[in-house]
Amino acid sequence: MDIHPTAVVSPKAELADDVRIEAYSIIGPRVELGSGTIVGPHAVVDGWTKIGERNRIFPFATVGYPPQDLSYRGEETRLVIGNDNTIRENVTINRGTQRGGGVTCIGSHNLLMAYAHVAHDCVIGDHVILANATTLGGHVRIDDHAILGGLVAIHQFIRIGAYAFIGGKSGL
């Protein structure tokens, strides 16, 4: 492991041997990070969060924090992220809620560009692109190979089908 001396990593976190944690990042006690994952400077990964292999989390991302839902009362809910994802600067990804099934899931080979937000109980497939400042409300499902342009806002409980393309500054 390559952990910068200014990083705060819980001794209870489960980290693969070749994980890299850069300066001033925080890794919580219930986090699992898979092989080859890199957490950039000032990023926070917390909560019941499992991240697969070869993911890259850029500076100031907040991954696995509690959902922004008034029903949430601190229950054990999860965030599960697959392999080979790129999570750019200032991205926020929340865990699920009990009434929404308890899990937010992100597949593999996805690109979440700067300032994207993935709310509670979302399910994102594989090879999805969320361009800068794309915002997903709770319980959104995005199927494989969909592309959402910059500043797209998706209302809660919406499904975006496979290979869909939504132009920038659109809303559903």
46 catalytic per annotation: no
Mean pLDDT estimate for the chain: 97
138 annotated active-site: yes
Rounded to whole angstroms, the Cα distance separating 117 from 53 reads 21
Catalytic residue among 34, 120, 125, 139: 120
Which entry of 121, 125, 137, 139 is annotated as an active-site residue?
Answer: 121
Q: Residue 155 gets which letter from DSSP?
A: -
Please report, for the chain, how many H helices and E strands are present, in that order: 0, 25
pLDDT tens track for 28-39: 999 999 999 999
Q: What Å distances lie between residue 101 and 30, 41, 58, 78, 95, CA to CA?
A: 19, 32, 28, 10, 10
Residue-level pLDDT at 128: 99
Q: What is the pLDDT of residue 71?
A: 93
Q: Do residues 148 and 154 lie in contact, with contact meaning Cβ atoms separated by under 8 Å?
A: yes
Per the structure block, which two tokens stand in for 11? 């001794």
CA 5, 90, 27, 111 torsion-angle sign? negative
Q: Name the token pair of 41.
A: 């400077």
Which neighbouring-strand residues pair with 57?
39, 87
Helix boundaries (H) for 20-96: none
Q: 15-23 long-range CB contacts below 8 Å, 24 or more apart?
A: 16/53
Residue 4 is among the residues annotated as catalytic for this protein: no
In single-letter form, the type of residue at position 161 comes to G
pLDDT tens, position by position, 70-105: 999 999 999 999 999 999 999 999 999 999 999 999
For position 170, what pLDDT does the model report? 85
**What pLDDT does residue 153 have?**
97
Which pLDDT does position 51 carry in this prediction?
A: 99
For the chain, which residues score pLDDT lower than 50? none
Rounded (10°) CA dihedral 81, 84, 90, 94: -10
Q: Are 114 and 131 in contact (CB under 8 A)?
A: no
Say what the pLDDT of residue 171 is. Answer: 75
